[in-house]
Amino acid sequence: MKIKPILTKIKESQEIDVQLVSELYTLARTSLVVLFLLVVLIATVLREAFPVQITIWAIILNIFIIMRMYTVYKFKQNKNLYSLKTWYKIFLVLSLLTATIASSLGYYFIYYFDAYHQLFVVTALLGMASGSIVSLRPDTRIAIAYISIIILPLIISLNFVALGAKTHALAFILVLYCIGPISMFLKTYAENRQYKEAKAESTILKNIFKEAPLGIFSYDKNLNILEANNEFFNIFNRSKKSYKHLNLRNLSDKRPIDNIIKTITKGAQTYNGPYTSLDQKDYWIHMNTFPFSNGDNVTIGGIGLIEDKSNEHDAQKKLEFQSKHDSLTLLLNRRGFMDYIKELVNDENHHSYYSLLFYLDLDQFKGINDSLGHAMGDKILLAISGRLLGALDEKATISRLGGDEFIIIVPYVASDKKIAKENAHTYTKILQNIFEQYFIIDDIHLYIKSSIGIVIIEPNYMDTEEIVRQADMSMYQAKNTNTDVAFYNIEMDKKQKELFALQHDLAFASQNNEFDLFYQPIVDLVDSKLYSAEMLIRWKHPTRGVLRPDEFIPLTIKAGILSKITWWLLERVCEQIVEWKKNNLWKLEYISINVNAQQLVENNFAQKFIRILESHGLNTKDIMIEITEQSIIDSFSYAQDVIDALHTNGIRCAIDDFGTGYSSLSYLKKLSFDTLKIDREFIKDIQENSEESTFLTSILDVGKHFNYNIIIEGVETEGQRDTLLSLGHNLRFQGYLVAKPLKSDEFTKKFLH
Ligand code: C2E
Ligand code: CA
Ligand code: CA
């Protein structure tokens, strides 16, 4: 708000304000009557000299005076007849006309009078002028003009149209006479202006004070209100009349009072907080209070500015709520949950009490979303959140971390771990019960299952990130047990951590060339003549030493990199065979490599396999593929075609670990295998256990019947070999009795030279 232009405006409009015009008209009432009588008196005296002219002069003058009286009367009757400006103009014109006609005495008639009448004229005009000083006082400009019109011509006449030597002196006195009132007028005029300006300014300030959207108040040392504006009362809801007696200690809400008091002793204060008004309306106010002092710098009270920040505060609250709550269920979201758990561990109760955390994850929720649509998914989540809220007591806090994951925290259940655990079981039951009844949504009956991971939060345990991680882990453990419920288990967690670390390292293993190829010979049972070899992978882990495939192959499957590794191994095996062939060391029937049956599903597996052999200039019979019985059973339907295709192209396949998958041989005969590798399990106790040898005999019979080559795995002792010899001759074996898997150079040296 710019004050200056407003000031000028007010000044302009107040130049001719109601007060001024009314005063002019009111004062004119008596003065016009006096003037009328004065004109009659002058005419009576001067008629002796000029009977006709003076009479006419007096009549004209009095007509004007009567007109002015009439306007005064009209103004009194009805001010609104004309605008203020018009009333002012009427007054101005008529009064100046009156003055002009009256002044003709001084410059026209005066020449024709004798000294006595001349003096009379001077006195009379002087009388008129001084009369106007009183009646025209409110408007300085009219007053000065009026006096000037009457006196100035007279002064000129007295000086220049010399009526006699003494008139100069008279004129001089007249001038002096004029200077007095005129300067007085000018002074009042200037003062008036200043006064009006000051008044305008204070009006503005008053208006600002009164109408500001800011509560303003001042108070003395005893907290009595001295002055307060409308907004102050809006907020504090007091009848305005009563503020004179209002003491701030008696506010309906005492919360801001501390700050109001402190202001006087300690200086400026700010209160930003809630305030409940007399009519129980809740506000959020921002109040600044400042001390004010007297001339001697002694604090004598305070000034306060209050702003109603309720709307802003509400909006902010709403935003805060949204940022911490899930918009679908209105439960806490991840952020709200994190805040909550931080509060939980910082609470005093956390020093001595156990708390419970339940991590609830729906099974197959993604499937529901995909098949029934997201709207349905949302309805299910809402229904579940409704059931949770209904089933759990007030102590429990429920959050939805997004998706189908809910976390329930029950704080400070017990100070004894056993009791805490019992509590955990009770709550688990409640949570499981929620899913016992099917859900009916849009007339569809849905059974929903869930897994629950449980963490018992120890007293004084502060690491919230770790609690969340343990919750995650417990859920992982729950999903991997068949009860669907698991308490967080530190041992399993350790194992899991190691696995994760390994999985991470795996990503770099092939890049860093950490995989190594080992070869184990396969020999004839009768004369131990070298027949072929199996390639077995090893991982030279930078810190853990050499790892065996059982320790990392499952991870490579999980990480989805086994296929890549297999292709890489195949290339290396091909290179190896090429080298042996080049050095004339190749005296094996084939090298076998292990392939997981799942990999067979890859696009054009057989073609790719053959292409790689060809690119190295190898024969398709140089490499055999070993596929475990178990993995074939798992992927039987698609393995069939690929194995057929490989067989057609001359690539041989073996059933590995035969006997562990409980499949019937005739069933496997449907696939085009030509070698059977009998699992180590059946050889282990063959000397002591005659049942094992009977079983082995029957497999050997069937194998022979279907014309399989048979390899016995894991032969470690001479005794085992002898027992096997008694069962049949046309067999081959692989085992520590001949050699452990060896590095390629060792294998070459020992078996190929
Ligand atoms: P497998 O195919 O049955 O391989 C034979 C396993 O028995 C090898 O273990 C070998 O070292 C071990 N073995 C051989 N003779 C004896 C013995 O006399 N006594 C004992 N106790 N063990 C013997 P390894 O090398 O640890 O391989 C374990 C399994 O890992 C393999 O079983 C195979 O299924 C898998 N594997 C090995 N290399 C690869 C590979 O390159 N690709 C894939 N997909 N799997 C592989
Ligand atoms: Ca094998
Ligand atoms: Ca095997």
Measured from the Cβ of residue 265, the count of other Cβ atoms closer than 10 Å reads 9
Report which bound ligand comes closest to the CA of 592: 2
Measured from the Cβ of residue 116, the count of other Cβ atoms closer than 10 Å reads 10
Structure tokens at 183: 């300067």
692 alpha carbon – ligand 2 mean position (Å): 21
**Residue reference for tokens 């003709």:** 104
Which residues surround ligand 1 with Cβ inside 6 Å? 520, 536-537, 548-550, 553, 569, 594-596, 626, 628, 656-657, 680, 713-714, 716, 734-736, 741
Cα(671)–Cα(655) distance, integer angstroms? 10
> Which residue, judged by its Cα, is nearest atom 41 of ligand 1?
537
CA distances from 111 to 43, 106, 157, 306, 567 (A): 16, 9, 9, 77, 140
Q: Which residues contact 677 (CB under 8 A, 6 or more apart)?
A: 626, 654, 655, 656, 657, 658, 711, 712, 713, 734
274 alpha carbon – ligand 3 mean position (Å): 76
pLDDT at 337: 96
Cα(463)–Cα(345) distance, integer angstroms? 8
Report which bound ligand comes closest to the CA of 520: 1
> Which residue, judged by its Cα, is nearest atom 45 of ligand 1?
594
Q: Which of 539, 564, 594 to mutate to test the pocket of ligand 1 (most atoms within 8 A of CB)?
A: 594
Structure tokens at 32: 């016009």
> Which residue, judged by its Cα, is nearest atom 15 of ligand 1?
735
> Which residue, judged by its Cα, is nearest atom 10 of ligand 1?
741
Q: Of ligand 1's atoms, which has the minimum distance to the CA of residue 599?
A: 44
Cα(722)–Cα(719) distance, integer angstroms? 5
- Side-chain half-sphere of 554: how many Cα atoms within 13 Å? 4
Could you tell me which residues are beta bridge partners of residue 452?
Answer: 360, 485
pLDDT at 74: 93
pLDDT at 640: 87
705 alpha carbon – ligand 2 mean position (Å): 23
Q: Which residues contact 348 (CB under 8 A, 6 or more apart)?
A: none
> Which residue, judged by its Cα, is nearest atom 35 of ligand 1?
549
pLDDT at 165: 55
CA distances from 607 to 487, 602, 604, 613, 652 (A): 49, 11, 5, 10, 14
> Which residue, judged by its Cα, is nearest atom 40 of ligand 1?
594
SS3 244: helix
DSSP string, 380-411: HHHHHHHHHHHHS-TT-EEEE-STTEEEEEEE
Report which bound ligand comes closest to the CA of 659: 3
509 alpha carbon – ligand 2 mean position (Å): 22
Cα(637)–Cα(645) distance, integer angstroms? 14
Structure tokens at 316: 């902010």
Cα(233)–Cα(242) distance, integer angstroms? 10
Pure H helices in 161-236 = 166-211, 230-236
> Which residue, judged by its Cα, is nearest atom 25 of ligand 1?
536
Q: Of ligand 1's atoms, which has the minimum distance to the CA of residue 548?
A: 26
Own/partner long-range contacts of 188-191 (Cβ < 8 Å, ≥24 apart): 188/137, 188/140, 189/140, 189/141
744 alpha carbon – ligand 1 mean position (Å): 16
List, run by run, the mean pLDDT of 10-residue segments along the chain (753 residues): 50 67 90 91 84 90 94 92 91 93 86 81 86 83 88 81 62 73 74 83 84 88 89 75 76 90 93 89 92 86 93 93 94 95 96 96 89 92 96 95 93 96 96 93 90 96 94 89 87 87 88 94 96 97 94 90 94 98 96 94 92 97 95 84 92 92 76 91 88 85 87 96 90 97 97 94
> Which residue, judged by its Cα, is nearest atom 46 of ligand 1?
594
Residues for the chain: how many in total? 753
In angstroms, the first-to-last Cα distance of the chain is 105
657 alpha carbon – ligand 3 mean position (Å): 4
> Which residue, judged by its Cα, is nearest atom 4 of ligand 1?
536
513 alpha carbon – ligand 3 mean position (Å): 26
Check if the beta carbon of residue 298 is closer than 8 Å to that of residue 208: no
Own/partner long-range contacts of 504-512 (Cβ < 8 Å, ≥24 apart): 505/541, 505/542, 506/552, 506/555, 506/556, 506/559, 506/561, 507/559, 507/561, 509/539, 509/541, 510/561, 510/564, 510/565, 510/568, 512/542
Per-residue b or e along 706-722, where b marks 16 or more CB atoms closer than 10 Å to that residue's CB:
eebbbbbbbbeeeebbe
